[in-house]
Amino acid sequence: MIMPLLRRLGQTVFVLFGISALVFTVFFATPGADPTARIAGRNAAPQTMEKVRKEYGFDRPLPVQYAIMMKKLFITRDLASYANRGELVVPEIMRAAPVTLSLVTGAAIIWVVLSIAMGVIAAAFKDSWIDRGLMILGLVGISIPVFWLGQVVNLITQNRYHDTWLFSWVPGLGYVPFSQSPSGWFLALVIPWCVLAVMFVGIYSRILRADLVAIMGEDFIRTARAKGLSPTRVLLRHGLRTALITFVSLFGMDFAQLVGGGALLTEVVFGLPGVGRLTYQALNSLDLPLIMATVMYSAVFVVLANALVDAAYLFLDPRVRDVG
């Protein structure tokens, strides 16, 4: 029990080190990214430049700078932004995290429910017009860029038709914390949830359908039918249950990368102050501490999700349980 956990921890540390070192070196190798000039301001006097360089430790060798930054990020947690002086990045991320989590969780519920329904129905009516219709719908969902869809939805609900009865309930862009007003939270997020879910519904329902169709040709499905089970039971208890193994592992990874900041476009379009938008701002202002913090945050989630997916695998697939 201890060994696998330790191994996982070792992997996590290794992955985090790799990514942070990469981000760090790429940053300092980027032309025009010299933080001294940015912090000191335009046309700063050489003395000021020198002073800033000393204060921030930019005169020290890169490995030392890297070590200091990691220490400030993970141990003392007082890493400050270069762009907004004195702004600590760790609390900034902690403030953004619940927004992203709210957005992604809601969208995930929508896309899981819808894609399972669509995938199962399409597989049950394989090759009929229902199947074709649903799969074309899925393809449309995949092809629509999320930022475009978000903008169009905003245009309609915030602008053109905001005063009609249909959309008058839509609140202005932005986020309302759940603790402040649960209904406000829901209203502010329901449109972003749907917009973010559209593409995933498309992808997941198509994958699930393909998986189910393949599984329905397996020997054990023939056995289940020979047992005298109803077609619904064969499809759900035997087919869907087996197909869920792939579905869940995919879901784990997608969910994690979204929580880690992958919902950036949706957050920017809907003005939600989440981790994705923070990443976007950090990249815009080339603010290394904030970039580093958001990237690390995202990496932690991906690694964590990997572990959870593995655990879910053990739960869902008895064949994996006995290996190793």
Partner 1 sequence: MLANTPAPPLLEVRDLCVSFTSRGQVIPIVENISFSIGDREILGLVGESGSGKSITAMALMGLIDAPGVHVTGSARFRGRDLLALPDRQLRALRGREVAMIFQDPMTAFTPVYTIGWQIDEQLRVHQRLSRRQARARTVELLGEMGVPDPANTANRYPHQLSGGLRQRAMIAMALSCNPSLLIADEPTTALDVTVQAQILELMRNLRTTYGSSVLLITHDMGVVAETCDSTLVLYSGRVAETGTTRDLFAHPQHPYTAALLASIPPMSGPRPDRLPAIPGGPPQPMERPVGCAFAPRCAHTHATCLPAPPPRFCTVGPGHTVACVLPAEGAPLPPRSGSSTSPVL
Question: What does the binding site for partner 1 look like in residue numbers (CB under 8 A)?
Answer: 127, 218-220, 222-230, 233, 237-238, 241-242, 245, 316-319, 322
Q: How far is the CB of 218 from partner 1 (least distance, A)?
A: 7
Q: How far is the CB of 182 from partner 1 (least distance, A)?
A: 38
Taking each helix axis from N to C terminus, what angle separates 275-284 and 288-316, rounded to the nearest 10 degrees?
Answer: 150
- Give me 145's structure tokens: 């860029």
The Cα–Cα gap between 273 and 282 comes to: 13
Q: How far is the CB of 128 from partner 1 (least distance, A)?
A: 11
The Cα–Cα gap between 240 and 120 comes to: 8
Q: How far is the CB of 246 from partner 1 (least distance, A)?
A: 12
Q: How far is the CB of 57 from partner 1 (least distance, A)?
A: 56
Closer CB to partner 1, 11 or 230, in the complex: 230
Closer CB to partner 1, 39 or 208, in the complex: 208
Find out whether 281 and 259 touch, Cβ atoms under 8 Å.
Answer: no
Q: How far is the CB of 223 from partner 1 (least distance, A)?
A: 5
Closer CB to partner 1, 242 or 249, in the complex: 242
User: For residue 256, what are the contacts with CB-CB under 8 A and spacing of at least 6?
Assistant: 301, 302, 304, 305, 306, 308
How far CA 102 is from CA of 23, 224, 273, in Å, comes to 28, 41, 11
Closer CB to partner 1, 30 or 230, in the complex: 230
Find out whether 238 and 221 touch, Cβ atoms under 8 Å.
Answer: yes
The Cα–Cα gap between 199 and 232 comes to: 28
Q: How far is the CB of 35 from partner 1 (least distance, A)?
A: 54
Closer CB to partner 1, 11 or 128, in the complex: 128
Closer CB to partner 1, 148 or 315, in the complex: 315
Closer CB to partner 1, 7 or 227, in the complex: 227
Nearest Cα to 245, choosing from 310, 304, 306, 201? 310
Nearest Cα to 264, choosing from 294, 289, 300? 294
Residues in the chain: 324
- Give me 221's structure tokens: 């499905």
* Element of type H or E holding 157: none
